[in-house]
Chain A
């Protein structure tokens, strides 16, 4: 930098010197001419000199003025000259591009694909990993709360918390300026036949204060509306919902919207793309206690073990996250002690609060999609490198053809720096045009990627924003420099004389040829890496699909229903009559589903697999504590008799629930295999006693054991689960209707939907979904990995094949004469073809080997994302090696065919 400044100053001084000399010379000439004129008129030399100076005016002042003027002009001319040169170079570059249209198109499309793929991936990574949640002020100071029971299971982090925990934290005003609590709910809007589902988020007023978000219209909740007491129903609409359903009407404030059967007054509209602390879109924000009865609200504070809420908080100024976590841990302990836990029990669990800021690098570290996105970033970079290798190869091939032109220009005295600039400009122009194509590719690819990778509210935003655009430009410049450097130096280093002599027949120099073959090897290696990655992910996906779920989703469907107009919660605190009414309604709906032709069985339950679960404390006689696995629990579900039949879970021993397991009948329960093995190892669990709740509660007898089912994830550790008959579940009401079909479940869903909807007047929208729909999102990381790797590998394969083809085709065109002579001398077709393709295929072969090596070396990076799949799996190579071989042979086939058809006489006459 300093050197450049010095150089700039030097140039300026040089320029001033030259200008001053010119001015002095001109004045001197003028004075001399004037003196001669005056002398010729008869003046003496002395007088003439004095007169000349007098006529001229103040010499020194004029001189200074002229120098200043001339310096300014000279500086100005310098800029004009540079612009002129640039104009010339640009038009020359454009002419070059237009002349070799095929070459230009190939380079631009290749670069466009490479840059576009990278820009699309960057866009997704940007939103997943780089950008904090929208409209959150200073997200580094907002923390989400979770805890870990260090002495029970240190590896399990409990992120879903209970209401009393929120109250404990709320008391620490010195540490947290605002403590927000929220819970996602499925709600619906409208009434009668017009009911439509929508996503809601229950939150308190401090939730928005903690995030620092301001609404675009109206206001968020006040503490009265969204505190711990019930109030008039209000709602704040999501921006997207407001635009989509209400046409962005600014007069929406004060309007009443029927949400889950109750009219809600709209008091505000959230800003665009605001999704709170998460990534999921929200249609309507509702006060935390929305739809809760006074009794339910009053009971919230007593339900320490009911984990249903997310809690976040803004740290007070000057409080470090570590200190805040310590304060929160102490606050929780105080709360638990106040709720009756003994010191011994507290010690035993060793609960420790963990705070994670909303900064994406912290908050989304463990999201599988984010991990996949990171990997995709690396993969797309490989594709970009491959693109560069390809373009470089094309450039080199063209460089050979242009060698004569370059030589002529050098011979004509164009200086090498200027020539280099010209060549660099060619590359830059190509790569920038490639960047333009890339932006279009990113627009299309990005939309697809966001739809699969991100939630729909994020997907609604434009996939090409200013950051993606900036990235594309940077990528284009990077590729321009990278692809232009070697060919440019190659062109300049070539031997002037021989280039001129060889003329249009210019052949590959040994060095250039080596570079080109090496580039082919690089392409082969990168393609191999990508193909192996694809193989790993495809195998993982197939293994995942084969994982036993403990139930069979293929012919089952379910509907989560809300018959009361309140947000579903297992602890509804409804009156006895209300609960009885709800049970009766669900029983009727179950009968309606079962009566549908094609339905083989139907059931009702508290919850369906993969829909989340509820944990509850229990006591086992003869044991001090209830052992659970690291997954927590024990989880429980309340189900009707046919439940296991409907979801396809096997009864391992004992029996399922029957119609005789009524409320008045003896209490019974069913446990899963893990619970049986953990609680009664080596014994028959059937007939054992479990107390649901406290040790003083009555016995419930185990009547059966069912196989383990998955709870939330496809890959998860075993957990303990118990089932109770829905009729014996006091305080609990069903919320899910499930049914099993004989034939295709998809065909029957609309039929059952209509029947359920018309079975009960005033029922909200009945959303019937196949059970498989709950599982697909859990497989997204692998599906995505396989799909994206596959797409990139295909792109790489096409690019590499194209590179191989172009190099060989070019070689043959260059060696036409030589091939013709060999043919005339009697060389067989086979020998000629071998000669041509050997070099290319050798390069690819070496690339293949190197690629396998690279994949093995990089295996550690992908391993955590794979499922029971190893790089050592032979099947991958059985897939990759033949693919590379076949594609390479196809790419060489046409050039080889051309070589075999070289006509000796024509080739020789050509010169």
Chain B
């Protein structure tokens, strides 16, 4: 065990304690994945992400703008995204978010889980034989 690897371990431990101390509810988790999906495309600032979600869902998803920012801040703390100030094409100062390697891994895992989950639930909910009574 070199001092360097000891410092690394310490760092990881510290971060992990940070993450595990905050369990995420399903809806929050879902929003996180959606936001990450947006950032998989390119680096964006908060409003771009909100606009991307609204475009993709034709405004049908009931999410406040503040919830998106909360998701971003939460993921920044967990090291899934990284933020830095930059300028927009209109030369305005905006906070841009970039997905980290950890964020990418998280997105991959969560997407797979989400698809499995919806497949299972869809399989259960879709009627296999049309109901005779309705006929």
Contact = CB atoms under 8 A, between A and B. Distances in A.
Interface string B44-55: 011100110000
B65 A94 contact: no
A62 B10 contact: no
B14 interface: yes
A49 to B, nearest CB: 14
Contact of B69 (A26, A34, A72, A73): A26
Given A56-B66, A80-B11, A87-B4, A73 B93 contact: no
A55 interface: yes
A65 B28 CA distance: 15
A80 B14 contact: yes
B70 interface: yes
Interface in A40-86: 55-59, 62, 65-66, 69-70, 72-73, 76, 79-80, 83-84, 86
Interface size band for A: 20 to 34
Contacts of A33: 47
B74 interface: yes
Contacts of B18: 76
Given A56-B65, A94-B3, A83 B11 contact: yes
Contact of B95 (A22, A65, A69): A22
A66 B73 contact: yes
Interface string A325-368: 00000000000000000000000000000000000000000000
Interface in B34-68: 45-47, 50-51, 64-67
B135 interface: no
Contact of A34 (B7, B47, B73): B47
B15 interface: yes
A87 B8 contact: yes
Contacts of A25: 93, 95
Contacts of B74: 69
Contact of A73 (B8, B66, B77): B77
Interface string B91-128: 01111000000000000000000000000000000000
Contacts of B73: 66, 69-70, 73
Contacts of B92: 29
Contact of A57 (B51, B64, B95): B64
A69 B77 contact: yes
A302 interface: no
A55 B73 CA distance: 19
Contact of B77 (A29, A30, A55, A76): A76
A465 to B, nearest CB: 25
A79 B14 contact: yes
B2 interface: yes
Contact of A83 (B14, B66, B94): B14
Interface in B7-37: 7-8, 10-11, 14-15, 18
A55 B65 contact: yes
Contacts of B65: 30, 34, 55-57
Q: Is the interface of A mostly helix, strand, loop or mixed?
A: helix
B70 A62 contact: yes
B77 A72 contact: yes
B129 to A, nearest CB: 44
Contacts of B14: 76, 79-80, 83
Q: Is the interface of B mostly helix, strand, loop or mixed?
A: helix
A27 B70 CA distance: 12
- Among B3, B46, B92, chain A packs the most CB atoms within 10 A around the CB of B3
A140 B67 CA distance: 69
Interface in A217-271: none
A91 B64 contact: no
B78 to A, nearest CB: 9
A90 interface: yes
Contacts of A73: 73, 76-77
B70 A69 contact: yes
A86 B10 CA distance: 11
Contacts of B66: 56-59, 62, 66
Contacts of B93: 25, 29
Interface string B62-90: 00111101100110110000000000000
Nearest to B8: A87
- Among B4, B51, B70, B93, chain A packs the most CB atoms within 10 A around the CB of B4
Contacts of B50: 30
B70 A55 contact: no
Contact of B51 (A29, A37, A87): A37
B64 A55 contact: yes
A334 B3 CA distance: 72
A66 B69 contact: yes
A59 B51 CA distance: 19
Given A56-B64, A57-B66, A29 B11 contact: no
A22 to B, nearest CB: 7
Contact of B47 (A29, A66, A94): A29
Contacts of A76: 14-15, 18, 77
Contacts of A91: 2-4
A94 B77 CA distance: 32
Nearest to A59: B66
Contacts of B76: 70, 73
A18 to B, nearest CB: 12
Contacts of B51: 37
Contacts of A57: 64-67
Contacts of A29: 45-47, 92-95
Contacts of A66: 66, 69-70, 73
A62 B93 CA distance: 21
Contact of B70 (A37, A59, A65): A65
- Among A59, A69, A70, chain B packs the most CB atoms within 10 A around the CB of A69
B95 A94 contact: no
Nearest to A29: B94
A59 B4 CA distance: 44
A819 B45 CA distance: 68
Given A37-B51, A56-B66, A62-B69, A80 B2 contact: no
A549 to B, nearest CB: 61
B57 to A, nearest CB: 14
Contacts of A34: 47, 65
A30 B88 CA distance: 12
A37 B47 CA distance: 10
Contacts of B95: 22, 25-26, 29
A688 to B, nearest CB: 85
B46 A26 contact: yes
A83 B9 CA distance: 10
A84 B4 contact: no
A84 B77 contact: no
Contacts of B4: 87, 90-91, 94
Interface in A16-34: 22, 25-27, 29-30, 33-34
B26 to A, nearest CB: 19
A619 B135 CA distance: 141
B124 to A, nearest CB: 34
A37 to B, nearest CB: 7
A26 B77 CA distance: 17
Contacts of A70: 73, 76
Contact of A90 (B3, B46, B94): B3
A57 B64 CA distance: 6
17 contacts: A26-B46, A27-B69, A29-B93, A30-B47, A30-B65, A33-B47, A55-B64, A56-B65, A62-B66, A66-B69, A69-B73, A69-B74, A76-B14, A80-B11, A87-B4, A87-B11, A90-B3
Ranked 6 nearest A-B pairs via Cβ: A57-B64, A62-B66, A87-B7, A57-B66, A33-B47, A90-B3
Given A29-B46, A94-B2, 13 more contacts: A22-B95, A30-B46, A30-B65, A37-B51, A55-B65, A56-B64, A59-B66, A66-B70, A76-B77, A83-B14, A87-B8, A90-B3, A94-B3
Interface of A: 22, 25-27, 29-30, 33-34, 37, 55-59, 62, 65-66, 69-70, 72-73, 76, 79-80, 83-84, 86-87, 90-91, 94
